[in-house]
Amino acid sequence: MGKTLFDKVWDAHVVDVIENGPQILYIDKHLIHEVTSPQAFNELESRRIPVARPDKIVATADHNTPTLNQHLPLKDELSRNQLEQLTKNCAKNKITLYGLGHENNGIVHVIAPELGFTQPGMTMVCGDSHTSTHGAFGTIAFGIGTSQVAQVFASQCLLLEKPKSLRVNVNGKLAKGVLPKDVILYIISKLGTNSGTGYFCEYAGNVFEEMSMEGRMTVCNMSIEMGARGGMIAPDETTFEYVKGREFAPKGAAFDQKVAEWKTLPTDADAIFDQEYSINAEDIGPMITYGTNPGMGIKITENIPELKDASFEKSLAYMNFNKGESLIHKAINYVFIGSCTNSRIEDFRIAAAFVKGKKKAHNITAWLVPGSQKVAKQIEAEGLKAIFEMAGFTLRQPGCSACLAMNDDKIPEGEYCVSTSNRNFEGRQGQGARTILASPLVAAATAIEGRIVDITKYIN
Amino acid sequence: MEKFIQLISTAVPLETENVDTDQIIPARFLKATDKLGFGDNVFRDWRFHKDGSVNESFPLNQSIYGGSILVAGNNFGCGSSREHAAWALAGYGFKVIVSSFFADIFKGNALNNGVLPIQVSEVFLKDLLGEIQADPSLEISIDLENQYISYSNKKEAFEIDAYKKVCLINGYDDIDFLISKKDKINAFEATQ
């Protein structure tokens, strides 16, 4: 029987197999940030264990950093302390840190690919569930808890049970205005938030083959929202072209040799998956969520379903929505374009193309937060910043920002926010805040209109 | 890590499904650099109203319920990988979480902190939640050695990874184990 992409990468990293137990998996790249690493460093220090491979770790500050005035000292004492701890821990253990203000700083899942750290066939981990993003390169990448961060520090390995395999095929032609975000929101809405638990997912089909790397990252990023530890897309010419020439990618003959290896990674034709789903691209439309988990999504033209279920009703009560209602024309005061899901250059190109020549609605507070310093620079270089400013928007500085509201970027209680982020959990964007997940196109249209509009009519 | 062998306790019922780790511990409490104090803020925004007053209808605030077992709805612990959720539950005093389904990362985090996630059938869960609500003094018995959970005259076996079971019973953790495999890891690195 043939092997899957996942099998090939996994099997190449198994150090040892424990009888009746887990496998020891070698980790090629470990990404860390300020929130989930301090306790792991403390653990090692208290047990007098050295960091095994500091050269395989890259650190950034992103989760609780401000998106305004990053040159000033942090006002929040606890956040400042976390950043200071990260700086100290990295210096002490000789770990590369791209701290606040550094030209390589940004959201961990945005900077690693753009700097060329993320490469096909690797194993990558980070104390962050959206590490699945890097699967876009044909990488086994997944989020871990802080105890596991400490394990990787100590041994560059993890003890894991090999997950089951799942493939989601999407074939056909996507309609105009249907973006990668819509594809993944549609998949999650159809399969459910725990359909992927225990599995590692591969996305296959012409829709993903034709997607840009940015789009593939958006899709893989949200694998965890259907419970899958990670998602992967087979590396191809699009992948190699993206990696080529990046700062930490192999160069010259070494790169060509790597490409030859990467070409052997795609799933064999006769490989069998434990679970497989197929979706027609034509069935997907621009999506929007109405509830408090990412599986509660509908096409923007559809009405909220009418289910009799206590958790469903609790969710609608929190959102202050009614069963059977349409969200079109719903007044919105907040828009967030950012997060590790949708803060890459392509996302800002889409938003800029829409807002060009239009004006932001008066009622709208919009936070446009680039994923990294490099994305911010590119936005300016491509003239997008000027387009946003002409339309009445201002860009903020990079970071996770209102995706999880650890910094000051909090949506007020009771307010709706159309957000390009990944989670619409209760209170995710601030206590009592109500999150509606959507693509950067739908978010941009909401910011111009001050309400949710039927984007399918708008663009046709 | 504290050793875990058997436990007999009353339980707190939390029927809600898809409880995500943002609810278990909201992001604004993730700014600590140690593992202490998270128990005070477990389920913070469900336990307290925005004005700081206590939400009397939330099961953790109802004095009739108590004990070191939390019995929760399907798909418990989904969302963020934050281990702070496991620290918060452990810090509050929970040693066992019972649900019909757990999210992967949470399950691993709980086990790494001596909190045992027990996956039971939907039928067993529904009955157990009903029994606790009918009689909050109901005692539930957990036998890790023999892998079963029981109350009144009902009993169900549960699964646990054999390696993780040894860790819990002996209070070991993965770091000790991985370091003991250093030679194999070095040999693997040499082939790369």
Residues from chain A contacting residue B31 (CB–CB below 8 Å): 35, 64, 76, 78-79, 81-82, 406
Residues from chain A contacting residue B109 (CB–CB below 8 Å): 145-147
Q: Which of residues 288-327 of A touch B (CB under 8 A)?
A: 293, 310-311, 314
pLDDT tens profile A3-51: 999 999 999 999 999 988 899 999 999 999 999 999 999 999 999 999 9
Mean pLDDT of B32-54: 95
What integer pLDDT is reported at residue A332 of this predicted model?
A: 98
**Dihedral class, residue B116 (left if φ above 0, else alpha if ψ from -120 to 50, else beta):** beta
The proportion of chain A whose per-residue pLDDT surpasses 90, expressed as a percent, equals 98
pLDDT at residue A327 above 80? yes
pLDDT tens profile A152-172: 999 999 999 999 999 999 999
pLDDT class of A87 with cuts at 50, 70, 90: very high
Residues from chain B contacting residue A64 (CB–CB below 8 Å): 30-31
pLDDT at residue B1 above 80? no
DSSP B9-29: E-EEEE--SS-BHHHHS-GGG
Residues from chain B contacting residue A128 (CB–CB below 8 Å): 80-81
What integer pLDDT is reported at residue B78 of this predicted model?
A: 96
Cβ contact, residue pair B22, A38, below 8 Å: no
**Dihedrals phi, psi of A277, to nearest 5 degrees:** -130, 150
Interface check A2 vs B, CB under 8 A: no
Mean pLDDT of A279-307: 98
Cβ contact, residue pair A161, B161, below 8 Å: yes
State the residue for tokens 């150090």: A15
The proportion of chain A whose per-residue pLDDT surpasses 70, expressed as a percent, equals 100
pLDDT at residue A460 above 80? no
Tell me the sheet residues that pair with A96.
A58
Cα separation, B100 vs B121, in Å, equals: 5
Computed over every residue of chain B, the mean pLDDT equals 95
pLDDT class of A459 with cuts at 50, 70, 90: confident
Cβ contact, residue pair B31, A76, below 8 Å: yes
State which residue of chain B sits closest to A402, comparing Cα positions: B27
What integer pLDDT is reported at residue A83 of this predicted model?
A: 96
Mean pLDDT of B157-178: 91
> Helices A345-355 and A373-381 meet at what angle, rounded to 10?
40
What's the count of helices (H) and strands (E) in chain A, helices before strands? 16, 18
Residues from chain A contacting residue B16 (CB–CB below 8 Å): 310-311, 314
Give the ipTM of the model, two decimals please.
Answer: 0.94
Q: N- to C-terminal Cα distance for chain A?
A: 47
Mean pLDDT of A134-149: 98
Mean pLDDT of B11-30: 96
Q: Which of residues 41-60 of A touch B (CB under 8 A)?
A: 42-43, 47, 49
Residues from chain B contacting residue A423 (CB–CB below 8 Å): 20, 22, 79-80
pLDDT class of A60 with cuts at 50, 70, 90: very high
pLDDT tens profile A236-253: 999 999 999 999 999 999
Residues 6 or more apart in contact with residue A290 via CB below 8 angstroms:
A296, A297, A298, A304, A316, A319, A321, A327, A436
Cβ contact, residue pair B33, A194, below 8 Å: no
pTM surpassing 0.90?
yes
Taking a C-beta distance cutoff of 8 angstroms, is the pair B7, A12 a contact?
no
Residues in chain A: 460
pLDDT tens profile A409-422: 999 999 999 999 99
Cβ contact, residue pair A145, B74, below 8 Å: no
pLDDT tens profile B65-91: 999 999 999 999 999 999 999 999 999
Report the sign of the C-alpha dihedral through residues A207, A209, A212, A215, in that order.
Answer: positive
Q: What is the largest CA-CA distance in chain A?
A: 65
